[in-house]
Amino acid sequence: MAKHIFVTGGVVSSLGKGLNSASIGLLLESRGLRVNLQKFDPYVNVDPGTMSPFEHGEVYVTEDGAETDLDLGHYERFTNAVINRDCNFTTGSIYYSVINKERRGEYLGKTVQIVPHITNEIKECIRKVATPGVDVAISEIGGIVGDIESQPFLEAIRQFGLEVGRQNVLYVHLTLVPYLRAADEIKTKPTQHAVSLLRQAGIQPDVLICRCEKPLSQELKAKIALFTSVEKEAVIDEKDVKPYLYEIPLLLKEQGMDNIIIKRLGLKTDGGNLQGWERMLERLKNPRYSTEIAVVGKYIGHQSAYESIYESIVHGGIANDARVKVRRVEAEDVEDKGPEACLDGVSGILVPGGFGERGIEGKIASARYAREKEVPYFGICLGLQCATIEFARNACGLKKANSTEFDKDTPHPVISLLEEQRGIKEMGGTMRLGAQDCLLLPGTRAHAAYGQNKVSERHRHRYEFNNDYRELFDSHGMVLSGLSPDGKLVETMELRDHPWFVCVQFHPEFKSKPTHPHPLFREFVKATLTVDKGQGVEAGGQRSGVRGQGLGVRGQGPGVRG
């Protein structure tokens, strides 16, 4: 039987419950255990798929096509857990399921109530991640204790502990221990209050992770332990680790987190280690080269709207021994000030996925700048579609080319609605979603990056390259390098005569890990190190990415001109 860990939060949100859940998962895997992870989000939307990234940050897509919370991205980047649609539930999805059961008459005439019907539904969802072979299932509860909407989840995990036996569950509570500059004091009272709320809900935490600016003295840990009834060794402090999020597991391990969990849950472990992770961190922290990449989007001001993109760029850097500085460029600024003003000096340009018209012309102008100035370009989903519009307008002479998403009456709909999307009216969960195969053309950069004929990548879109323009594009130098297995959908394209200009209709950023950088991000970053833009410099300041020398040189190795 799997053991369960529940991760809750107190005092304030955004303390990093997702990263800590993922880190606990990694630590347990490093001890030879198999883990699974899931997140409960207390909001009423059925999933985040219909929410603006300004509200929610990135929508993370799983292999099986669920649109989920971005914390699932942390789970996949840190661990080997198989993350799917059973790994994210919301208040909305729980109620949706209960109400559907009620309509089908499954409650046999009973009054349907929050306790026990909603809480039973939540417990059923918890059991879904304790699949055969999983030693520890980790469930993160979004929001904080004291929120009205968190209460059914807290009640469910309390009941769950009672049902499976207290020795089989561990409650980890993440809390804030602020430092007050004016008083020059570290304050434990907010944590005392948060834990007292948790105990009012019937949950005695076993472990406290205290987020703090300054490390906690033994005396302060003893004080927190006394007021919260948590053993002192299980009061763990966690300083900010920015910019190296991947250090969190090591911080926890230094304080014995894995041993505490293993002892408390009576787990049997057989070896394992963290060496691969530690080696990755070593490379991340001591890079030899550096480069600068612009990400041109419309949610640039939001910290986590492009979470997986930013992380994948870091991974591409790790693969190339390079620190990648990301210049976050607001697409509307490119429209107002022009691409030169916004993009001058960068060694690569990435246009990520997105929806809607705002900023589109800025993204198109960025693709043009990259094509004409021979700056490496990586277009992802909408980034492919913008490059397509740009190429049609400026290389093929179709001045009014557009996507029907932005101009229904365009005379040249180079991007148009997928056949399967016609007639769909509902917004939630109705895009082309999840893993799909793609066949790559040998001799192309995409093929060279993967080193494979057939790949599988995750999708989230309604629009697609219009096949009527295939020949025109090819004859003007845009190679359609990847197709769906039936040959009907263009999945990747690239410029024949350019240092590195690769576009993909899918989202490679959902499959990149720090220990296994995605091949396309690896090759993109490599290409930025080899352009003569004055950027591919040694981290210490010296130029290194000089054409014809060193790493990933233009004209050598994978990603060469095809």
Catalytic residue among 121, 494, 509, 523: 509
For residue 66, what are its two tokens?
A: 């669920």
Q: Which residue is nearest to ligand GLN (CB)?
A: 353
Given the complex with ligand GLN, which of 337 and 358 has the nearer CB atom? 358
Query: Which residue, chain included where needed, has tokens 């190339």?
Result: 320
Given the complex with ligand GLN, which of 155 and 405 has the nearer CB atom? 405
Rg (CA), the chain: 25
Least distance in angstroms from the C-beta of 44 to ligand GLN: 24
Question: Which residue in the set 75, 289, 450, 463 belongs to the binding site for ligand GLN (CB under 6 A)?
Answer: 463
Least distance in angstroms from the C-beta of 433 to ligand GLN: 10
Cα 397 to the chain's mean position, in Å? Answer: 38
49: CB partners within 8 A, 6+ apart: 59, 67, 427, 428, 429, 431
Q: Rounded distance, CA 38 to CA 46, Å?
A: 16
Question: Which residue in the set 10, 25, 316, 353 belongs to the binding site for ligand GLN (CB under 6 A)?
Answer: 353
Q: Is 429 in the site for ligand GLN (CB under 6 A)?
A: no
Burial of 471 (0-12, 13-18, 19+ CB in 10 A): exposed
Question: Do 349 and 375 touch, CB atoms closer than 8 A?
Answer: yes
Q: Rounded distance, CA 414 to CA 501, Å?
A: 18
Q: Is 462 in the site for ligand GLN (CB under 6 A)?
A: yes
Determine how many CB atoms are found less than 10 A away from the CB of residue 34.
19
41: CB partners within 8 A, 6+ apart: 48, 69, 88, 89, 90, 91, 142, 143
Given the complex with ligand GLN, which of 297 and 517 has the nearer CB atom? 297
Least distance in angstroms from the C-beta of 330 to ligand GLN: 17
The region of 264-272, 353-361, 435-443, 520-528 touching ligand GLN under the rule CB under 6 A is 353-361
Least distance in angstroms from the C-beta of 297 to ligand GLN: 10
**Amino acid in position 457:** E
Least distance in angstroms from the C-beta of 409 to ligand GLN: 18
Q: Is 246 in the site for ligand GLN (CB under 6 A)?
A: no
Given the complex with ligand GLN, which of 144 and 504 has the nearer CB atom? 504
| Pairing mode of beta strands 432-440, 478-483 | antiparallel
Q: Is 355 in the site for ligand GLN (CB under 6 A)?
A: yes
Question: Do 432 and 418 touch, CB atoms closer than 8 A?
Answer: yes
Q: Is 354 in the site for ligand GLN (CB under 6 A)?
A: yes
Given the complex with ligand GLN, which of 206 and 457 has the nearer CB atom? 457
Question: Which residues ranging from 527 to 546 are in contact with ligand GLN (CB under 6 A)?
Answer: none
Given the complex with ligand GLN, which of 182 and 427 has the nearer CB atom? 427
**Per-position b or e across 428-447, b if 16+ CB within 10 A of its CB:** eeebbbbbbebbbbeebbbb
Least distance in angstroms from the C-beta of 255 to ligand GLN: 40
**503: annotated active-site residue:** no
Q: Rounded distance, CA 92 to CA 100, Å?
A: 12
Least distance in angstroms from the C-beta of 343 to ligand GLN: 20
88: CB partners within 8 A, 6+ apart: 38, 39, 40, 41, 47, 66, 68, 69, 72
Least distance in angstroms from the C-beta of 478 to ligand GLN: 18
Question: Do 277 and 330 touch, CB atoms closer than 8 A?
Answer: no
Given the complex with ligand GLN, which of 95 and 355 has the nearer CB atom? 355
Determine how many CB atoms are found less than 10 A away from the CB of residue 220.
19
**471: annotated active-site residue:** no
Least distance in angstroms from the C-beta of 415 to ligand GLN: 7
What DSSP string describes 334-369?
HHHH-HHHHHTT-SEEEE----SSTTHHHHHHHHHH
Catalytic residue among 381, 396, 438, 503: 381
Question: Which residue in the set 47, 405, 491, 494 belongs to the binding site for ligand GLN (CB under 6 A)?
Answer: 405
Question: Which residue in the set 158, 461, 518, 533 belongs to the binding site for ligand GLN (CB under 6 A)?
Answer: 461
Question: Do 280 and 515 touch, CB atoms closer than 8 A?
Answer: yes
For residue 447, what are its two tokens?
A: 């093929």
Count of chain residues binding ligand GLN (CB under 6 A): 11
Question: Do 289 and 544 touch, CB atoms closer than 8 A?
Answer: yes
Least distance in angstroms from the C-beta of 462 to ligand GLN: 4
Given the complex with ligand GLN, which of 370 and 503 has the nearer CB atom? 503
Binding mask 370-389 for ligand GLN (x = CB under 6 A): -----------xx--x----
Q: Rounded distance, CA 11 to CA 208, Å?
A: 13
Q: Pick from 346, 367, 19: which is nearest to 172 by CA?
A: 19
Given the complex with ligand GLN, which of 65 and 353 has the nearer CB atom? 353
The region of 11-19, 87-95, 348-356, 362-370 touching ligand GLN under the rule CB under 6 A is 348-356
**140: annotated active-site residue:** no
Question: Which residue in the set 298, 460, 526, 554 belongs to the binding site for ligand GLN (CB under 6 A)?
Answer: 460
Q: Pick from 438, 461, 485, 466: which is nearest to 381 by CA?
A: 461
Strand locations in 444-500, DSSP E? 454-461, 463-465, 478-483, 490-495
Catalytic residue among 342, 507, 518, 523: 507
Least distance in angstroms from the C-beta of 470 to ligand GLN: 18
The region of 359-367, 422-430, 457-465, 533-541 touching ligand GLN under the rule CB under 6 A is 457-465
Given the complex with ligand GLN, which of 83 and 382 has the nearer CB atom? 382
The region of 99-107, 246-254, 460-468, 472-480 touching ligand GLN under the rule CB under 6 A is 460-468
Given the complex with ligand GLN, which of 270 and 409 has the nearer CB atom? 409
Dihedral angle, C-alpha 132, 138, 142, 145, nearest 10 °: 120
Q: Is 17 in the site for ligand GLN (CB under 6 A)?
A: no
Catalytic residue numbers?
Answer: 381, 507, 509
Residues found near ligand GLN in the complex (CB under 6 A) = 353-355, 381-382, 385, 405, 460-463
